[in-house]
Amino acid sequence: MKGLIPLAALTMLGLTACGNTDSTTVGADGNTVTPVVVTDAICRPTANGRKVTACYLHLVSTRDDTLESVATPAAARASIHETTMESNMMMMHPIEGGVPMTAGQPVVFTPGGNHIMLNDVAEPLVAGDTVELTLSFAQAPDLTVTAAVGQPPASNEG
Ligand SMILES: [Cu+2]
C-alpha cells in the first residue's frame, strides 16, 4: 500500500519593504523607485581668494514635488538662486519657497538661470575636487549627490 505523500511545506519568499534609505523607496511591485534623479551636478572652482561659487545640475522627479533647500559640507551656506535681468544687468536672488518640480519634467540649473549658490566655502575648490550636495524636498527623502568641480557647459551663459 502506498501512503499519502505529505505536502512539502511551502517556502515563502521573504519580501522586505524596508529599503527606505537614501533616495530610494520600494514601489508596490517590489522594485526600487528613485523619486528624484540628479544628473550633471557641477560646481565652479572658487576664484582666487573668493569664498563663493555656484553649482548647477539637472533634476527629474517622478512626481510633483518641490526642491526646498540645499546643504553642503563644503560651505557654510548653500542657497537656491534665480538669475534675472534688471536694467540690462544680471542680478540674482534667492528663490523663496523652493523650486517646483512637475512629474517627469526636467528642472535645469544652468549658468544664466537657476543655480545653487555656495557662500563661505571652507576650502578653495579646484577642478577635479568633488562637492557633496544634499537636496531636501517637500516629499521625497533627502538626496545627496556628488558634484564635480569644473567649468559647466557654457551653452546658456550670457
Ligand atoms: Cu547666486
Domain of 127? 35-148
Say which residue the cell 557647459 belongs to: 153
Q: Does the residue 67 lie in any domain?
A: yes
CATH number at residue 108: 2.60.40.1890
C-alpha 26 – ligand 1 centre gap (Å): 36
Whether residue 67 contacts residue 57, with contact meaning beta carbons closer than 8 Å, is answered with: no
| pLDDT of 62 | 95
C-alpha 112 – ligand 1 centre gap (Å): 10
What does each C-alpha distance from 109 to 92, 97, 98, 113 come to in angstroms?
A: 13, 16, 13, 6
C-alpha 23 – ligand 1 centre gap (Å): 26
| pLDDT of 20 | 38
26: three-class secondary structure by DSSP: strand
pLDDT of the chain along its 158 residues, tens only?
555 555 443 333 333 344 334 445 555 666 566 799 999 999 999 999 999 999 999 999 999 999 999 999 999 999 999 999 999 999 999 998 999 999 999 999 999 999 999 999 999 999 999 999 999 999 999 999 999 999 998 654 44
Say which residue the cell 555656484 belongs to: 54
Q: Does the residue 24 lie in any domain?
A: no
C-alpha 84 – ligand 1 centre gap (Å): 10
| pLDDT of 3 | 56
Q: Does the residue 41 lie in any domain?
A: yes
Q: Tell how many helices (H) and how many strands (E) occur in the chain.
A: 0, 12
| pLDDT of 23 | 47
| pLDDT of 29 | 61
The reply to whether the predicted model has a pTM over 0.75 is yes
C-alpha 117 – ligand 1 centre gap (Å): 5
| pLDDT of 94 | 95
Number of domains in the chain: 1
Beta strands (DSSP E) in the chain are 25-26, 32-33, 36-43, 53-61, 65-71, 75-86, 89-94, 99-101, 107-109, 115-121, 130-137, 143-149
Amino acid at 117: M
C-alpha 94 – ligand 1 centre gap (Å): 7
C-alpha 116 – ligand 1 centre gap (Å): 7
